[in-house]
C-alpha cells in the first residue's frame, strides 16, 4: 500500500472513531453485574454508586480524593445548615468510613456510626428509610463496623468497652458506660474479640443474625467472691453485641457535643432493642464465636489421651453448657463417642441453635468423659452429672422444662445414653458375682461405687433419647485383635482401680469373666460382641414413657447383609422399641451429616409439639 493510501485509511479510521457513541451499555456476566450493584466501601473498598452519585452532584469527587477531611467538614456544615436531604446521611456515613480506613482513624469511624444511626433512626418517623432501600442495610453495616473499629484497641486487637469523651470530626461524643453490666448469668464478661473480622474455617455453615450493633465474642469468668450458679464452661467465648445508643440526637446532627450510652447485650437470636419506638434485632455472629471457642479449646489434642488415660488425679468428666441456664428451655445433652470429644458435635449444634424454631426453646449441654473407662463407670458419671446439674439449676423443682430432657449419644455415647433410661435390676451385677453386693468384704467407698454403677433406675427427667451410630449389640471393630491390644494401654480411674483391688481380695465370689483379663475391663472390652455387659444392656427395654429414636449410618446407605459404617454393623445398631429409625449414607462419624442434622431437628420439633 502506497503512502497516499495509508493516509486515507488512517483518516477514515479517525473519522469513524470520532463518530462512535461516547456512552454505551456493555453486557457483562450476571456475577459481575451483581458485584457492580453491591459494590460498597465495605465489600470492595470502592464507594457505592449512590455515594458516587452524591459527590458527583456536589462536584466533590476530585476534591475528596485530595482533601477528604475538608470535604467531609464542608458536607457536615451543609447538612447542619439544612441544605442536604436526610437521604444524604447514608452517603456521609460511607464517606467517613472510607476516610477512616485510609488514615482518618477513630473520629471518622465514630462519625460513620453517628451518621448511620441518624439515617436509620430519625426522630421524625416520616424520614425512616424504606425497607427495600439498599442503603438501609449498608447503613446498618456501616454503623456496626464503624462502632467495632472505633472501640478496637490496636490493629487486630480486642475491643475495649469503656466510657469517656471521644473525638468526632465535628465535635465530641460523651459516652456513658456502666462496667457492672458486663455480666451474663453468674459470670463476668471480659476480653471482647470482634467477630465481623473473622473468617470461619472448618464448619460447613456459617450463621449470622442480622441487625444493629457490633458482634463480639467475650471470655467469661466467675464473679469475684462468687460461685458458678450454672453449667457455663470456663473456656468458651460467648456471643455478645455492643450498642452505642445516641440520645437526643437532632435530625440535622447539628450539636457539636453528642451524648451516647454504650450497652452490652449477651446472647443472640431473639434479642431485640427498642430504638425510636421501633423493635430492632441485634447483630450477632454465633458461628464465629463457636469457631473461636473451638480454635482455643484443648479438646482436639486430648481425644486420644482421653481414651487412654483414666482420671488418675482429677475428675475430667464434666457437663458443660455454652449459655447460662435459661428457665423454660428444654435441655438437650450431647454425649460423644470413643476417642472423641464434645467438639465433634459442633456442626450439629451450630445448625440446631441457629434454627429460629429451636433457638430459645432448648438449651444445649455437652458431657465429656474419659472414653476408655468401663462403660458402667462412665454411665455412672453421666448419671451423677445430670443429677447434680438439675439440682444446681433448679433445687426447688420449679422448672418443668428441665424434666423434659433429651439425650443424644453417638457411638459409645449412645450406650451411656441408653443406661439413663433403663432399669438395671440385678442383671449387671450378676455378671460380676453370684454373691449379693452387701455380702462381699469391701470398703464403704468401693461398695458405694459398685452399687451406683451396677444398680440404677431410669432418670425421671429424661423423656427422649436419640441413638446415633450406636453399637447396641457391640462393635466388630471393638472385638478385633488390634482394638484389644490398644485397650491394654488404657489406664483406669483411681477409684475404679481401688474397687478392683478390693474385689480381688475375694476372688472366690467373682465370676471368671471379671478377672480373666488380668486387668480392669475397658470400654473396648464392654463393646466387644458377646461381652456380658453389652449383652445385658442390649436386652434391656427402654423405660415406659421415654421416646427413643435411632439414626444408623451405613457407608453405602443400603440395608443389606453385612452393611456397616466401618465401625458398627447395621444389625448391631438396629433395635426394636424405638419411635423411629433413619438410615443415613455415611461413615461412622455421621454427626455432621445433613440427613442426621435434619432428623435430629425433626425429632426436637416433635418434642416441642408433644408438650
Cβ pair 193, 158 in contact under 8 A: yes
Q: Which residues of the chain have pLDDT under 50?
A: 304-315, 478-492, 494, 497, 512-517
pLDDT value at residue 256: 87
What is the average pLDDT value for the chain, to the nearest integer? Answer: 86
Cβ pair 255, 171 in contact under 8 A: yes
Contacts of 534 by beta carbon, 8 Å cutoff, 6+ apart: 415, 471, 473, 474, 526, 527, 528
Question: CA separation (Å) from 65 to 44, 62, 369, 440?
Answer: 17, 5, 61, 90
Contacts of 520 by beta carbon, 8 Å cutoff, 6+ apart: 374, 492, 496, 497, 500
At 498, is the secondary structure helix, strand, or coil?
Answer: helix
Pick the CATH number of 315-609 from 3.40.50.1820, 3.40.1440.10, 3.20.20.80, 1.10.1530.10: 3.40.50.1820
pLDDT value at residue 284: 96
End-to-end CA distance of the chain: 93
Contacts of 507 by beta carbon, 8 Å cutoff, 6+ apart: 515
Contacts of 409 by beta carbon, 8 Å cutoff, 6+ apart: 334, 335, 337, 415, 416, 417, 418, 465, 466, 467, 468, 470
Sign of CA dihedral 572, 521, 318, 388: positive
| Alpha helices per DSSP H over 283-394 | 286-296, 299-308, 346-352, 375-393
Rounded to whole angstroms, the Cα distance separating 57 from 52 reads 9
At 9, is the secondary structure helix, strand, or coil?
Answer: helix
Q: Where are the chain's structural domains?
A: 38-150, 154-288, 315-609
At 192, is the secondary structure helix, strand, or coil?
Answer: strand
Rounded to whole angstroms, the Cα distance separating 182 from 218 reads 10
Grid cell, residue 151, equals 472501640
pLDDT value at residue 254: 76
Strand order through the sheet with 164-168: 164-168, 171-176, 257-266, 238-247, 214-222, 187-194, 183-184
Grid cell, residue 485, equals 491390644
Cβ pair 111, 98 in contact under 8 A: no
Q: How many CB atoms lie within 10 A of CB 21?
A: 6
Dihedral, CA of residue 114, residue 120, residue 121 and residue 127, to nearest 10: 120
- Beta-bridge partners for 190: 219
Cβ pair 172, 256 in contact under 8 A: yes
DSSP state of 323: S
Question: CA separation (Å) from 230 to 239, 320, 395?
Answer: 17, 9, 12
Of 580, 557, 587, 559, nearest in space to 571 by CA: 559
Cβ pair 568, 473 in contact under 8 A: no
Angle value at C-alpha 431, between 425 and 434, nearest 5 degrees? 90
In the block, cell 456501616 appears at: 142
Question: CA separation (Å) from 336 to 242, 306, 366, 465?
Answer: 34, 12, 8, 14
pLDDT value at residue 518: 53
Cβ pair 564, 554 in contact under 8 A: yes
At 440, is the secondary structure helix, strand, or coil?
Answer: coil
540: left (phi over 0), alpha (psi -120 to 50) or beta: beta
String of DSSP letters for 240-309: EEEEEEEES--TT---SEEEEEEEEEE--SS-EEEETTEEEEBPB-HHHHHHHHHHH-SHHHHHHHHHH-
Cβ pair 487, 524 in contact under 8 A: yes
Which pairs with CB-CB distance under 8 Å and at least 24 residues apart come from 76-85? 76/169, 76/170, 76/253, 79/252, 79/253, 80/252, 80/253, 80/254, 82/252
Model-level pTM?
0.88
Amino acid at each position: 500500500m502506497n503512502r497516499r493510501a495509508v493516509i486515507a485509511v488512517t483518516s477514515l479510521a479517525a473519522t469513524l472513531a470520532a463518530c462512535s457513541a461516547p456512552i454505551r451499555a456493555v453486557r457483562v456476566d450476571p456475577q459481575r453485574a451483581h458485584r457492580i450493584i453491591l459494590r460498597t466501601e465495605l465489600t470492595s473498598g470502592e464507594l457505592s454508586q449512590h455515594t458516587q452519585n452524591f459527590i458527583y452532584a456536589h462536584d466533590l469527587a476530585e476534591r475528596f480524593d485530595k482533601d477528604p477531611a475538608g470535604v467531609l467538614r464542608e458536607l457536615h456544615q451543609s447538612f447542619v445548615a439544612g441544605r442536604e436531604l436526610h437521604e444524604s446521611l447514608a452517603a456521609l456515613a460511607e464517606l467517613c468510613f472510607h476516610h477512616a480506613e485510609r488514615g482518618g482513624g477513630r473520629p471518622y469511624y465514630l462519625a460513620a456510626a453517628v451518621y448511620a444511626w441518624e439515617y436509620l433512626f430519625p426522630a421524625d418517623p416520616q424520614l425512616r428509610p424504606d425497607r427495600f432501600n439498599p442503603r438501609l442495610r449498608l447503613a446498618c453495616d456501616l454503623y456496626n463496623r464503624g462502632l467495632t473499629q472505633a472501640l478496637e484497641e490496636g490493629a487486630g486487637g480486642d475491643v475495649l468497652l469503656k466510657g469517656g469523651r471521644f473525638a468526632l470530626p465535628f465535635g465530641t461524643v460523651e459516652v456513658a458506660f456502666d462496667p457492672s453490666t458486663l455480666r451474663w448469668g453468674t459470670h463476668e464478661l471480659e476480653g471482647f474479640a470482634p467477630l465481623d473480622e473473622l473468617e470461619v474455617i472448618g464448619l460447613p455453615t456459617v450463621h449470622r443474625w442480622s441487625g444493629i450493633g457490633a458482634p463480639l465474642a467475650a471470655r467469661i469468668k466467675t464473679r469475684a467472691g462468687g460461685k458458678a450458679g450454672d453449667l457455663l464452661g470456663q473456656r468458651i467465648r460467648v456471643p455478645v453485641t455492643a450498642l452505642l445508643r445516641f440520645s437526643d440526637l437532632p435530625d440535622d446532627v447539628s450539636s457539636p457535643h453528642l451524648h451516647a450510652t454504650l450497652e452490652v447485650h449477651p446472647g443472640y437470636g431473639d434479642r431485640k432493642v427498642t430504638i425510636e419506638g421501633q423493635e430492632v434485632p441485634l447483630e450477632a455472629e454465633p458461628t464465629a464465636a463457636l469457631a473461636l471457642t473451638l480454635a482455643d479449646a484443648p479438646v482436639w489434642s486430648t481425644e486420644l489421651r482421653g481414651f487412654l488415660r483414666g482420671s488418675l488425679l482429677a475428675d475430667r468428666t464434666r457437663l458443660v453448657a455454652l449459655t447460662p441456664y435459661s428457665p423454660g428451655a428444654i435441655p438437650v445433652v450431647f454425649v460423644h463417642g470413643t476417642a472423641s470429644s464434645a467438639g465433634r458435635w459442633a456442626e450439629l449444634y451450630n445448625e440446631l441453635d441457629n434454627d429460629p424454631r429451636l433457638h430459645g426453646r432448648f438449651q444445649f449441654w455437652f458431657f465429656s468423659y474419659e472414653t476408655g473407662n468401663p462403660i458402667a463407670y462412665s454411665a455412672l458419671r453421666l448419671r451423677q452429672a445430670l443429677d447434680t446439674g438439675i439440682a444446681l439449676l433448679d433445687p426447688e423443682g420449679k422448672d418443668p422444662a428441665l424434666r423434659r430432657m433429651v439425650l443424644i449419644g453417638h457411638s459409645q455415647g449412645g450406650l451411656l445414653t441408653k443406661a439413663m433410661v433403663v432399669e438395671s435390676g440385678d442383671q449387671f451385677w450378676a455378671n460380676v458375682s453370684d454373691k449379693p453386693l452387701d455380702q462381699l468384704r469391701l470398703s464403704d467407698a468401693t461398695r458405694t461405687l459398685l452399687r451406683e454403677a451396677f444398680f440404677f433406675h431410669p432418670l425421671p427427667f429424661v423423656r427422649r433419647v436419640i441413638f446415633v451410630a450406636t453399637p447396641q449389640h457391640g462393635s466388630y471393630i471393638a472385638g478385633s485383635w488390634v482394638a484389644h491390644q490398644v485397650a491394654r494401654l488404657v489406664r483406669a480411674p483411681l477409684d475404679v482401680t481401688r474397687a478392683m483391688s478390693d474385689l480381688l481380695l475375694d476372688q472366690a465370689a467373682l465370676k471368671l469373666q471379671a478377672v480373666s483379663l488380668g486387668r480392669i475391663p475397658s470400654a473396648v472390652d464392654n463393646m466387644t460382641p458377646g461381652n456380658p455387659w453389652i449383652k445385658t444392656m442390649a436386652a434391656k427395654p427402654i423405660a415406659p414413657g421415654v421416646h427413643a429414636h435411632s439414626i444408623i449410618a451405613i457407608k453405602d446407605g443400603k440395608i443389606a447383609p453385612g452393611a456397616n459404617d466401618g465401625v458398627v454393623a447395621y444389625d448391631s445398631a438396629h433395635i426394636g422399641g424405638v419411635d423411629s429409625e433413619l438410615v443415613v449414607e455415611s461413615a461412622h462419624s455421621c454427626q455432621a451429616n445433613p440427613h442426621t442434622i435434619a432428623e435430629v431437628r425433626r425429632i426436637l420439633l416433635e418434642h416441642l409439639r408433644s408438650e
